[in-house]
Structure 1
Amino acid sequence: MAQCGDAEASNVPLGICVWSDKGSLGMVILYFKTGAQAAAELVEIRGQVEKKS
């Protein structure tokens, strides 16, 4: 399960997504994006983050 939302740091918009499951816990912060935009990109990003070498 993942949740995404909007934030701001030093007047810079941030899209933040966090997730956890049985084997992982992660967070992605995308600068100059909204939470909705981050959510749209999360599937691809999460797949790369969780890729095992």
Structure 2
Amino acid sequence: MYFRIRYDADGYRALAYASNHQLIWWTEGYVSKADARRAIDLIKREGPGGDVHQ
């Protein structure tokens, strides 16, 4: 599993991908990149770990 932060029309989104590169999870759009990073940190703390690709 790995994570990515992407900017789109709704703001910054945190996305989680499986090891086969399939998108499995995403967040709402956040105003700041730091908020998207906090969402990833929460998932990493409460669930399985993974790398962050930016």
- Given the two structures, how large is their TM-score scaled by the length of structure 2? 0.47
Higher relative contact order (CA 8 A, sep 6+): 2
Q: Which has the larger radius of gyration?
A: 1
- Which structure is higher in strand share? 1
TM-score (norm 1): 0.48
